[in-house]
Amino acid sequence: MNVLLIGSGGREHAIAWKLRQSKELDRLFIAPGNAGTAACGENVDIGDSDIEKLLEFAKENRVGLAIVGPEDPLAAGAVDAFEKAGIKAFGPCGAAAQLEADKGFAKQLMRSCAVSTAEGQVFERFSDAKAFIASRDEAVVIKAAGLAKGKGVYVCDDPAEGINIAEQIMCDRIFGEAGAKLIVEDKLLGEEASILAFVDGHNIYMMESAQDHKPIGDGDTGPNTGGMGAYSPAPVVTDKLMSQISREILVPVVDAMNRLGTPYKGVLYAGLMMTSGGPRVLEFNVRFGDPETQPILMRLKSDLLEVCLAVCEGKLDGVTLRWDPRPAVCVVMASGGYPGDYEKGKVITGLEAAGAMEDVMVFHAGTATRDGQVVSNGGRVLGVTAVGADVAAAKARAYEAVGKIAFEGAYWRTDIADKAIGRKRR
pLDDT of residue 257: 97
- Of 356, 357, 373, 374, the residue nearest 365 (C-alpha): 374
- Of 351, 391, 69, the residue nearest 229 (C-alpha): 391
All residues at 6 or more sequence positions from 119 whose CB lies less than 8 Å from its CB, including other chains: 185, 186
CB 394 within 8 A of CB 324: no
**Listing from the earlier edge strand, what are the strands of the sheet with 191-200?**
204-206, 191-200, 265-275, 278-285
Lowest model confidence (mean pLDDT) among 148-152, 187-191, 290-294: 148-152
> How many Cα neighbours within 13 Å face the side chain of 387?
16
pLDDT of residue 151: 76
| pLDDT, tens digit (0-9, with 9 covering 90-100), for 51-82 | 999 999 999 999 999 999 999 999 999 999 99
| pLDDT, tens digit (0-9, with 9 covering 90-100), for 22-47 | 999 999 999 999 999 999 999 999 99
Ordered structural domains, the chain, with CATH: 2-93 (3.40.50.20), 125-180 (3.30.1490), 191-318 (3.30.470.20), 328-425 (3.90.600.10)
* Mean pLDDT within 293-313: 98
Query: What is the percent of the chain with per-residue pLDDT over 90, rounded to a whole number?
Result: 84
Cα gap 87→84, rounded to integer Å? 7
* pLDDT at residue 366 is higher than 70: yes
- 363, β-bridge pairs: 383
> How many Cα neighbours within 13 Å face the side chain of 15?
35
* Mean pLDDT within 338-366: 97
224 — pLDDT class (breaks 50, 70, 90): confident
- Of 81, 99, 426, 70, the residue nearest 252 (C-alpha): 99
- Of 271, 266, 253, 139, the residue nearest 192 (C-alpha): 271
Q: Checking phi first, is residue 345 left (phi over 0); if not, alpha (psi -120 to 50) or beta? A: left
What mean pLDDT, rounded, does the chain reach? 95
Cα gap 104→231, rounded to integer Å? 29
426 — pLDDT class (breaks 50, 70, 90): very low
| pLDDT, tens digit (0-9, with 9 covering 90-100), for 242-289 | 999 999 999 999 999 999 999 999 999 999 999 999 999 999 999 999
| pLDDT, tens digit (0-9, with 9 covering 90-100), for 108-156 | 999 999 999 988 888 889 999 899 898 888 888 898 888 887 778 888 8
Amino acid (1-letter code) at residue 327 = P
424 — pLDDT class (breaks 50, 70, 90): low
pLDDT of residue 425: 41
* Mean pLDDT within 375-397: 98
All residues at 6 or more sequence positions from 247 whose CB lies less than 8 Å from its CB, including other chains: none
